[in-house]
Chain A
């Protein structure tokens, strides 16, 4: 992996079990689609670089959480250090759409005191004939939450890049405008190494002070 990036953003991907979280991430990070995949246990990790402007690369560290209810108590612990995330539902599964609200609430309450930037994703848009959630409906919900809405398909590779880069751009703007700041002890945003910029030793000394006992 290239070592030169401006920032690292940690993203979390949440949503009901079987909506296709892992498949979407794999398509994005590995460029392939697996017909069969095992349910995620707890959390898995992926990373990829995204070039948001010429020469400006962001490293995305993606936490792929388990959707299954039984893992909920564990996955909750993982929200805190994320700056953003994809909130997925399956357009052919109405129930997964109805649960979006709960997922959002849960995420928001667990990232406190930080805030988190979400993108609402209607997944499996290649399965148009089985659609149970209309685009208008989803867009309405997204705007009510102040989010963007994107429909994707991991199988046909529709909008996958778009979804991740849009979210990354949004976060990047917030970082640039100072609405999101790099904080000690928070892994959501980290600054990377740019050639010829001396990275101060401050961070190291700062972290020394943090007492874990």
Chain B
């Protein structure tokens, strides 16, 4: 467990970080992954349940939000639930969701071991990624900005909350008057007040102006801790396409590598560059091309239809969209004790792909996963390796394991995206009557789950391996490596899910074609 992580004042760091994160996460369609429609009130009460003084470990936050959430959900505090639901539930939702992730107490990196469900929810996965950097960053930003502490704030907010109606004008006034640093900070926060709720502990929401201000400063600070914005990029610029985000990450890594004169660059694990090396970027771009083309085709077909036909087609398309928003992934199903996981994974995947009836196989994924597991096995038990080379025993360092982990994750993710790209191509020209498009959509969402499970399992295996091999290492050597593996695993899962989303228009156009062929 890292001391530096634990020392961060939880109230300060996590509160403000949440606010910013909640603003930045969340393109709407991603939220569908995050929360089942009925669970808003539930998540809200989880957030509130955690006592304000609870010692959360700033950086180890949001690791296994959903799972932890489910467990705590069994004993909600009725009083607090009541309170929340009465007060503006709409505004409450966002920060509540996030704080449910971050305020749940964590036990340092040891807890990462059960990291999991977040893998299936793009939004939370991304939050996990970013939260890490942001918590620190915010703290820094706060300090340098002279922003009042949450305690001061809550007092201020308590007052402002009462005069919600007239805040706007008051804000303007205040902003106009104050020139001192403190004054402007106050002004900034008073503009928050319209959306601010005080529910026993400080919960901040909305306040776009203030957040933008914080955001700008934060970006600068994050840049220090996260060069290249590898982790944060995806969130900050949501207008970018997925491949653009990845490409930028890769380019920055390349630039870094180019600038580093040191000779040890080869040993460094650059996820983005490795991902590109496995042609992940190209497959992603090609998939994006197909997805965009399909989307515009569907649109143009819809404009040519009218009346009953149009309604019918629209209904069909709605049905096809459903499997894309209802992906649920139960991490508890991932049993890392199992020995035949690789075989199991391949079997599940192959079966699912067969049911698509579009002659596509998982050969490359199979190879990649087998490689990864073989590597883990070899690194964990180098002695057991029954080779002919008796006496030759390779010892592995934690860096070796880390590199191998990042490489495996990059390869599996690239192969997964390649798989989706091939599926898209096959769907576009194979018109089978053996299976409906809706069926195919459902199967593909299954495939996504299997792939994410695989990533999750792999990251667990690798970190277990890291822990074993690095048992003699100090925490500050081992922890960043372990965190790194989990971060890239959660990124990997996000990329896979995003790639899956790109298949939606492809299936839609396939359905449109088929129904046209049929009539």
Contacts and interface: CB of A to CB of B under 8 A. Distances in A.
Interface of A: 1, 3-4, 41-43, 45-47, 61, 63, 70-71, 73-74, 77-78, 80-81, 187, 192-196, 199, 204, 207-208, 210-213
Given A41-B422, A193-B258, A74 B429 contact: yes
A78 B253 CA distance: 27
A74 B428 contact: yes
Nearest to B250: A3
Contacts of A199: 255
A45 B258 contact: no
Nearest to B294: A77
B282 A45 contact: yes
A196 B258 CA distance: 9
A1 B276 CA distance: 10
B299 to A, nearest CB: 13
Contacts, number: 68
A39 to B, nearest CB: 11
B396 to A, nearest CB: 24
Contact of A41 (B241, B254, B279, B426): B426
B286 interface: yes
Given A41-B426, A212-B241, A3 B273 contact: yes
Contact of B255 (A45, A46, A193): A193
Given A41-B425, A42-B425, 6 more contacts: A4-B258, A74-B290, A80-B289, A81-B285, A204-B248, A208-B237
Secondary structure dominating the interface of B: helix
B293 A77 contact: yes
Interface in B404-433: 421-422, 425-426, 428-429
Contacts of B152: none
B174 interface: no
B460 to A, nearest CB: 29
20 contacts: A1-B273, A1-B277, A3-B254, A4-B258, A42-B286, A45-B279, A45-B286, A71-B429, A73-B429, A77-B289, A77-B293, A78-B286, A187-B285, A193-B251, A195-B261, A199-B255, A204-B248, A207-B240, A208-B237, A210-B239
Nearest to B274: A1
A61 B282 CA distance: 9
Contacts of A70: 429
Nearest to B428: A74
A43 B240 CA distance: 24
Interface in B244-272: 244, 248, 251, 253-255, 257-259, 261
B512 to A, nearest CB: 14
Nearest to B261: A195
Contacts of B244: 207
Nearest to A4: B258
Interface string B107-127: 000000000000000000000
Interface string B345-383: 000000000000000100000000000000000000000
B426 A193 contact: no
Given A73-B428, A207-B240, A207-B244, A3 B258 contact: yes
B296 to A, nearest CB: 11
Contact of B425 (A47, A61, A74, A208): A74
Nearest to B229: A204
Contacts of A3: 253-255, 257-258, 273
Interface in B227-245: 237, 239-241, 244
Contacts of B273: 1, 3
A73 B429 CA distance: 8
Contact of B259 (A41, A46, A195): A195
A83 B249 CA distance: 23
A78 B257 CA distance: 30
B453 interface: no
B461 interface: no
> A3, A193, A207, A213: which has the most chain B beta carbons within 10 Å?
A3
B283 interface: yes
A42 B422 contact: yes
Nearest to A73: B429
Interface in B271-305: 273, 277, 279, 282-283, 285-286, 289-290, 293
Contacts of A210: 239
Contacts of A4: 258
Contacts of B279: 45-47
A78 B258 contact: no
A196 B239 CA distance: 30
A202 to B, nearest CB: 13
Contacts of B259: 193, 195-196
A81 to B, nearest CB: 8
A156 B505 CA distance: 44
Interface string B326-362: 0000000000000000000000000000000000100
Contacts of B253: 3
A81 B422 CA distance: 19
A43 B251 CA distance: 23
Contact of B286 (A43, A192, A194, A212): A43
A77 B254 CA distance: 28
B258 A208 contact: no
B64 to A, nearest CB: 33
A194 B251 CA distance: 12
Given A74-B425, A193-B258, A211 B248 contact: no
A200 to B, nearest CB: 12
Contacts of B261: 195
A192 B276 CA distance: 14
A211 B239 contact: yes
A65 B428 CA distance: 16
Given A4-B258, A42-B421, A193-B254, A78 B426 contact: no
Contacts of A195: 258-259, 261
Nearest to B254: A3
